[in-house]
Amino acid sequence: MPYKHAHYFVGAVLLVIFGGFWASYFSVVSGPMPLAFHVHAVTSMTWLMLLIAQHVSIHQRANALHKQMGLASFILFPLLMLGFVMIINVTADRFVAQESEFIAYAGPKFGGALAIALVAYCTLFYLALKNRRNLKLHAGYMLATPMILFESPFGRLMDQYIPWLNVIRTEGPHEVMSSIAFSDLMMVALAMGLYSMDRKNGAPWLVASCFMALQALFVWFAYLVPGLDSAFAAYATIPDSATLVAGLAAGAAAGWFGWRAGGAPARPAAVPA
């Protein structure tokens, strides 16, 4: 079975989430907080735990259990995308309200980065299902999804506890953008290392690297993008009901079309009489 120890990596990402969001979420989770934070937190961590369970089950030859949990992903994945859209919507509302100088600067950049992450997730999930009959490709595409999630909590973890690690640190409100970019580039380095170890089955790591590099470049240079603030403000005028349905639909479509693209297993050739 490929990636024998991958569940340790996924578990490490879970720990990074707890560490990165401890101060802003987990330590104050019982207080007043937008529903979007809870939905995003629960669906993201449940997705990672599902990956761990699927990985362990297939290595334990519990194929039936692995398939059952795979079917559960068709429900969980659209909810995961819903959580991303809910966070984008909250960010857009705060940006329009000019809640703070920081959100006025960072809001559109966060929104764009989240949109890239959403497209990356849908692409990787689609390709995982499309290639479900190729064990290495299927596992690679599924295990690449935590890489997309890594930048946000690790960027916070760096800022709070290990700021010296970020060698591209900048000053002012752009400092957070450098943390995101550096976290993305760390995962690009890991993904490209995995690709170099098995280029024949390395497509998942190339795809993930492209999205993470795009996200890093976007957050770093977004301040140069003309009309970004206006576009994000225009997005905020779209009813939440429309964007949330779109997020659910995108997640469901990735699963549906990925499954259909994977096709049915080949039938054995008939033995001549």
pLDDT tens digits along 81-91: 999 999 999 99
Give the structural domain span for 70: 6-255
Determine the residue type at 236.
A
64 compared with 201, residue with greater pLDDT: 201
Residue 258's pLDDT is what? 97
Residue 269's pLDDT is what? 46
SS (H, E, C) 72-108: HHHHHHHHHHHHHHHHHHHHHHHHHCCCCHHHHHHHH
Residue 48 pLDDT grade (very low, low, confident, very high; cuts 50, 70, 90): very high
Residue 228 pLDDT grade (very low, low, confident, very high; cuts 50, 70, 90): very high
Determine the residue type at 16.
V
Residue 1 pLDDT grade (very low, low, confident, very high; cuts 50, 70, 90): low
Quick check: is 132 in a domain?
Answer: yes
Q: What is the pLDDT of residues 124-159, one digit of tens each?
A: 999 999 999 999 999 999 999 999 999 999 999 988
Residue 81's pLDDT is what? 98
Name residues whose C-beta falls within 8 Å of residue 99's C-beta, 6 or more positions apart in sequence.
none
Quick check: is 99 in a domain?
Answer: yes
Say what percent of the chain tops pLDDT 90.
Answer: 75
How many domains is the chain partitioned into structurally?
Answer: 1
Residue 219's pLDDT is what? 94
Quick check: is 138 in a domain?
Answer: yes
Quick check: is 104 in a domain?
Answer: yes
